[in-house]
Amino acid sequence: MKQVTLIPGDGIGPEITEAVKTIFNAANVPVTWDEENAGQTTFDAIGELIPSTLIASLNKNKVALKGPITTPVGKGFKSVNVQLRQMFDLYSNVRPAKTTPGVNTRFENVNSVLFRENTEGLYSGLEIFDERLQIADSISRVTREGCEKIVRAAFEYATRHGCKRVTAVHKANILKHAGALFLSVFREIAKDYPDLQADDIIIDNMCMQLVVKPEQFDVIVTTNLFGDILSDLCAGLVGGLGVVAGANIGDEMAIFEAVHGSAPDIAGKGIANPTALLRSAIMMLHHLDLKDEANRIEAALEATLANKEECTGDLGGKANTMQFAQNIIAKL
């Protein structure tokens, strides 16, 4: 049995978490859950966004599954997601985007994985505001070490998964330091992987290429802000945030998460789509080397998604969250 920290999160978080737990139970997955919450609900209850009991659980288990978290609006509240990534040096944000039969999209045959640097760049927290002059500076700090870690993670993934091409996305023509450092590290590391096609593309061209011919890309690697935006763009190509998985991975720890938000507009109604969290949980099973369980659940999910009637409302179906989960279980 492997123990995993489970963070249900806010809004629809507990509902989609329950669905994933039910499916794991039915599939006899050898995982036990160590449940600790974070976010708005926790803050309202105990005055802390990330309780020390959660940090202890993460340090102990090293693997977590996380639902969406609401960051309270207002000064002084730093995003829980950003804090967890920085606290545990979860430098790779990994976002697969693959078209699924039955899920309506404008494109077919999209199958890419985006590696976003998760702790540096414009999210380093280096911001200065001159009140008198009304000038704001947000500093993009990019380090050689940070670039090396994310680029190597992308090439290693490509090698392990039999991918053919790794594409770096940058703006080195304008960002003469931050962009150039990332690009030169990419070109250096690419030499260690002669069997892979390595190329690079400027962010603006990449946006155009992705909405014209997305099936040409395989593994994509980029810095924090570009990755934040591109990963949602890629999600849109394959059916939206409700159906894509995400993971934050470091050398010591990995947190798998639903990439959509807490959906306050539908929270408590029992109609949320658990696919994004389930797909993240499947990624987690691969990470834990539970490949048979991962493949069984994935096959049952794909078979369910192929039949619209069995899906939740956002995918054009009539099922609620738990009926959708039961439809998956019936196919295990």
Residues making contact with ligand NAI (CB under 6 A): 12, 16, 68-71, 81, 241-242, 257, 259-266, 272-273, 276, 314
72: Cα separation from own chain's centroid: 21
State which residue, 131 or 265, has the beta carbon closest to ligand NAI.
265
* Smallest gap from residue 257 Cβ to ligand NAI (A): 6
* Smallest gap from residue 306 Cβ to ligand NAI (A): 18
Phi first, then psi: give them for residue 298, nearest 5 degrees: -65, -40
* Smallest gap from residue 315 Cβ to ligand NAI (A): 9
Q: What share of the chain is helix, strand, coil (3-state, %, to 5)?
A: 45, 20, 35
State which residue, 183 or 276, has the beta carbon closest to ligand NAI.
276
* Smallest gap from residue 112 Cβ to ligand NAI (A): 20
Phi first, then psi: give them for residue 35, nearest 5 degrees: -85, 125
C-beta of residue 200 within 8 angstroms of C-beta of residue 222: no
State which residue, 83 or 111, has the beta carbon closest to ligand NAI.
83
Helices 144-160 and 178-190, packing angle to 10 deg: 40
State which residue, 50 or 272, has the beta carbon closest to ligand NAI.
272
* Smallest gap from residue 200 Cβ to ligand NAI (A): 28
CA distance 207 to 229: 10
* Smallest gap from residue 323 Cβ to ligand NAI (A): 14
* Smallest gap from residue 80 Cβ to ligand NAI (A): 7
State which residue, 313 or 332, has the beta carbon closest to ligand NAI.
313
State which residue, 122 or 168, has the beta carbon closest to ligand NAI.
122
State which residue, 69 or 147, has the beta carbon closest to ligand NAI.
69
3-state SS assignment for residue 118? coil
Residues with Cβ within 8 Å of residue 85, at least 6 apart in sequence: 91, 93, 118, 119, 248, 255
* Smallest gap from residue 159 Cβ to ligand NAI (A): 29
Q: Nearest-5° angle of CA 227, CA 232, CA 237?
A: 120
Which tokens in the block code for residue 289?
């080397």
C-beta of residue 311 within 8 angstroms of C-beta of residue 52: no
State which residue, 112 or 273, has the beta carbon closest to ligand NAI.
273
96 CB-contact burial (10 Å; exposed 0-12 / middle 13-18 / buried 19+): buried
CA distance 245 to 135: 38
Q: Which DSSP letter does residue 121 get?
A: B
C-beta of residue 106 within 8 angstroms of C-beta of residue 237: yes
227: Cα separation from own chain's centroid: 11
How far separated are the first and last CA of the chain, in Å rounded? 20
State which residue, 125 or 268, has the beta carbon closest to ligand NAI.
268
C-beta of residue 250 within 8 angstroms of C-beta of residue 90: yes
* Smallest gap from residue 305 Cβ to ligand NAI (A): 13
Residue number closest to ligand NAI, CB atom: 261
